[in-house]
Amino acid sequence: MTERVSRRRRSAARLPVLLWLPAGLGLTLFLLPFAGLLARTPWRDLPVLLTSDIVTDALRLSLIASLSAAGISLLLGVPLAWLLARAEFPGRSLVRGIVTLPLVLPPVVGGAALLFAFGRRGLVGEPLYEATGLLLPFSTWGVVVATTFVAMPFLVITVEGALRNLDRRYEGAAATLGAGRWTVMRRVTLPMIAPSLVAGTVLTWARALGEFGATITFAGNLQGRTQTLPLAVFVALESDRDAAVAISLVMVVVSLLVLIALRDRWWRPL
């Protein structure tokens, strides 16, 4: 017992005092907005506000869009990361640049670019519409495409890094034991990068949940069809402050719950 106490005291003492001030300031920057949000929360009206159509529609859409984005990113992003990490082909750095572009690009620009590609007069949108009658903009599918576009780079980057850091001799060892390429991937590579897969998926999901710019540009702001939680907050700020605060609170709680639940088990490697 005494040993533990003394060890804790020693490790605390080792941190330079100078670090405490900026660290505290940084933390305050994170904490104050939440405090403001909580202070402004209309607790009594909360049940009514949270069960209104606008909120439940937006919550449903947000969950659908962010989970779909995370799922699609896993399906497409892992093979993409694999290619970037393992395959030698000309223009690989260009491909990597394009894949990570949505991280840097303002989401509004991304949304506009999507519109030029998939809009009714767009590069792909026009033939697609004429062939199938499917129109992405201003549809729930559009929301999914926009959020995936913005969020998938997080998964690709995380998984590519994990694949590069993986000691490939384990895969060689598996091969000498009789495992073909598919078995090696399924039973050795993927399980060994599992922590990064989970971390990448969570990051992707989190980014998708908060997506605003690309969605509103590409898919518009239609309640029940394309209006996700961030869009609902944006609209409510103009019309109904209390509703805006309530929706914001929902987002804070949902995000915090997921991050805390995953933190100890999976986040460490990040």
Partner 1 sequence: MSTAGLEADFAVRRSERFTLRIRLSVLPGRTVALLGPNGAGKSTVVEAIAGLLPVDAGRIELAGVLLDCPERGVFVPPERRRVGVVFQDLLLFPHLAVIENIAFGPRSRGVGRRAALVRARQWIERLDLGGLEHRRPPELSGGQAQRVALARALAADPLLLLLDEPLAALDITMRTRLRRTLAQHLQQFEGPRLLITHDPTEAFLLADEICIIEAGEITQNGTVEDILLRPRTPYAADLAGCNLLAGNASRGEVAVGTHVLHIADTGIEGPVLLTIRPNAVSVHRTPPEGSPRNCWETTLERLEPLGSRVRLLTGPPLPLAVEVTREATDELGLHQGSRVWVAVKATEIGVQPDDAAARNARKREDQPSL
State the residues that interact with partner 1 by CB under 8 A.
167, 169-170, 172-180, 183, 187-188, 191-192, 194
- Residue 71 Cβ vs partner 1, minimum distance, rounded to whole Å: 23
The residue type found at 264 is D
Query: Three-state SS string across 42-68, please?
Result: CHHHHHHHHCCHHHHHHHHHHHHHHHH
If you ran DSSP here, which 8-state letter would residue 105 be given? S
* Cα angle value 136/104/114 (rounded, 5°): 15
Q: How far is the CB of 3 from partner 1 (least distance, A)?
A: 25
- Spatial separation of the C-alpha atoms in residues 159 and 32, rounded to whole Å: 34
Q: Indicate the SS3 state at residue 79.
A: helix
Phi/psi at 182 (5° precision): -65, -45
The nearer residue to partner 1, 36 or 180, going by C-beta atoms, is 180
Query: Beta-strand (E) ranges in the chain?
Result: none
Minimum CB distance to partner 1 smaller for 188 or for 216: 188
Minimum gap (Å) between residue 198 Cβ and partner 1: 13
Minimum CB distance to partner 1 smaller for 43 or for 182: 182
Q: Tell me how far, at minimum, the Cβ of 183 lies from partner 1, in Å.
A: 5
Tell me whether residue 174 or residue 216 sits nearer to partner 1 (CB atom). 174
Nearer CB in complex with partner 1: 189/217: 189
CB of 11 to partner 1, least distance (A): 25
Amino acid identity, position 74: L
Structure-token pair, residue 45: 């009206």
